[in-house]
Chain A
Amino acid sequence: MEGFLSNVLNGLSWGMLLFLISMGLTTVFGVMGVLNFAHGSLFMLGAYFCMQFVRWVGSFWVGLLVGPPIVAVLSILIERYLLRPLYGRDVSFQLLLTFGVMLFLDDGVRLIWGAAYHLVNPPDILSGVIPFFSQTYPVYRLFLVLLGPLLGIALWAFFTFTRWGKILRAAAMDRQMAEIIGVRVPVLFTAVFAFGAWLAALGGALAAPHQSVGPAMGERIIIESFIVVVIGGMGSFPGAFVGALILGLMNSFGTTLVPDLQMALPYILLAVVLLTRPRGIFGGEA
């Protein structure tokens, strides 16, 4: 029971981080049709910036608030000057461009901060452990588990009730139609890309105290969040939530139950979902 619950909590905390990054990935894909390989690198940048702010001012909260907007501004430059010239061309070129950006950012981080892993301490109020049955459980992970649904609700409210949210959903559903009724699509694209980057970087900043900060962290999460987005249904918001939870839980239970197979589990799940529901769980019919 105890092991089961801690598995559930571990799975949920990783799932919440996956959810944040998948949310951005799926929004960018849904609206712009761009599968962004560099998204994991933006997640990684969020973690590094947060770490840097912790070093400079000693406050995790400053890093959490200031880091992600900086990444968003950087991503505006990427969208405006690198991606925009490619919209008329084949999708694979956009994929490759973001692949190049990923290589650049991953190695750039290595150049600036070195290849070593860095640790970020959680803020005082969230550090330490609480009693958990006969053992203890880190407070920070519980914080992530609670924060996840709150952010999920906030995002849901944003997409459902605000004007911008509605415009986003409209553009995700039918880009041309949105353009016809007067949505300024180029501005929208920039905004969506920046929004996705902000979400990814927020996930990265939140991940910093949860795992170690290193140059490989983006590469791992980008593939897992691709899987989340694909099995949930590309462009689907509930799909991203459900997919992230499934993958997070599978990760923690897989590690304890079938350690040898754990690495392959997400891919097996991916294959099974794609072959039975080619457009994902929430993706409608192919």
Chain B
Amino acid sequence: MNPLLRRQLIMGGVILAALLAAPFVLPMYWVIVLTEILTMSLFALSFNLLFGYTGLLSFGQAGFFGAGGYFAVLTLIHGPQSLWAALAAGLLGAALLALVIGWFCVRLDEIYFAILTLGFGMMLFTVAHNWRAVTGGSDGLGGFTVPEMSLLGFQVNLFNPKNFYLLVLFLVVLGVLLLLRVVQSPFGLLLKATRENSNRVSFVGANVRSVRLFAFVLAGALAGIGGALFALFNRIASPEMLHWSFSGKAVLMTILGGSGVFLGPAAGAAIFFVLEHVITAYTTNWMLFLGAILVVLVLAFPKGVLGSLLGLYARRWKGPKP
């Protein structure tokens, strides 16, 4: 285990403890913000499995995020009143879509991959926006109740934002551990190898397309469960969740935090939302500041905030890297 990763794990443990304690000490407003941060972290981390580890810049990740949201809400409206069924529908539906769309997209590279994923994402957006009878059109799909969750014999009421927060925390941590396991595995090494040089990976006998497709489906499934949580928490699934500019948010958060660090996208999501809530308290022109911050970050912190901090820490305490 390399020292950078060990530091991250220690850091992760501290963060987890803080996150568990958060709903009992923070005011309700910040518990809600934290819930948002956690769902968006899962979304951004799923994006970074493709971007940071596999070298594929997907501009259609919001399509799976949003689709997960719609599948979950549709299940609650038309299907069983079960939270687990809704979440499973979000996960499986998004994974299935990612399998079909990914089958086409993994044939392309670089900018072409980015544009094609954007195109497919926008096709999904059009479905959500125009198929009024099923999706509610541009108004979004709401008007459902989040059922109680049965957990170890207890009935947990999710109307309480604290309970919902703990559910989100539990699922996001599961997702993060799964992702960590994947990027640490030999398969994760294969992903990084296709990022560095896909030709060589083919030469040594691996099937680049199926490696990429697997990553694409996994990322889609995790984005789907993130979207399902997002829609259930906000009590609405709306077409904006599938728009390319929403995919842009995942890209932004990932770069903000650092795409080369495992938890970078999560740090980016946290920075993004905290900044948003602080800045919108003073001005409505949040995008203006975000744009300026992004420009400065890209120029001054090429490895993102978390990546640069960790790099600084490594240099400061451990001497120059070998």
Contacts and interface: CB of A to CB of B under 8 A. Distances in A.
A108 B286 CA distance: 10
A271 to B, nearest CB: 5
B108 interface: yes
A86 B287 contact: no
Contact of A223 (B57, B129, B244): B244
B285 interface: yes
B90 to A, nearest CB: 23
Interface string B246-259: 00100110010000
A154 interface: no
Given A102-B291, A103-B287, A105-B291, A275 B104 contact: yes
B298 A93 contact: yes
Interface residues of B, number: 39
Interface string B88-131: 00000000000000001001101110111011101100110110
B1 interface: no
Contact of B288 (A99, A104, A223, A279): A104
Interface in A23-61: 35
B118 A223 contact: yes
B252 to A, nearest CB: 7
B298 A35 contact: no
Interface in A233-286: 234, 260-261, 263-264, 266-268, 270-271, 274-275, 278-279
Contact of B291 (A103, A219, A270, A274): A103
Nearest to A260: B130
Contacts of A234: 111
B116 A270 contact: yes
Contact of B123 (A107, A110, A230, A267): A267
B51 to A, nearest CB: 8
B171 to A, nearest CB: 29
B292 interface: yes
Contact of A100 (B57, B119, B298): B298
Contacts of B111: 35, 91, 234
Interface size class of A (residues with CB under 8 A): 35 or more
A92 interface: yes
A136 to B, nearest CB: 31
A99 B119 CA distance: 18
Q: SS class of chain B's interface: helix, strand, loop or mixed? A: helix
Contacts of A147: none
Interface string B211-249: 000000000000000000000000000000000110010
A91 B110 contact: yes
A274 B112 contact: yes
B112 A271 contact: no
Interface in B272-322: 285-288, 290-295, 298-299, 302
B244 to A, nearest CB: 7
A100 B292 contact: yes
B126 A100 contact: no
A89 B302 CA distance: 9
Interface string A214-226: 0000010001001
Given A271-B116, A278-B108, A108 B294 contact: no
Contacts of B244: 223
A110 B79 CA distance: 43
Interface string A177-196: 00000000000000000000
Contacts of A108: 285, 288
A274 B112 CA distance: 8
B11 to A, nearest CB: 25
B122 A264 contact: yes
A267 B119 contact: yes
Contacts of B129: 263
A105 B285 CA distance: 11
A103 B288 contact: yes
B298 A104 contact: no
Contacts of B286: 107
Contact of B251 (A99, A226, A261, A268): A99
A96 B47 CA distance: 15
13 contacts: A82-B299, A92-B51, A96-B298, A97-B299, A105-B291, A107-B287, A223-B244, A226-B118, A260-B130, A268-B119, A271-B120, A274-B112, A275-B104
The 9 closest A-B pairs by CB, nearest first: A104-B291, A103-B291, A100-B294, A107-B287, A264-B126, A107-B288, A267-B119, A100-B295, A270-B119
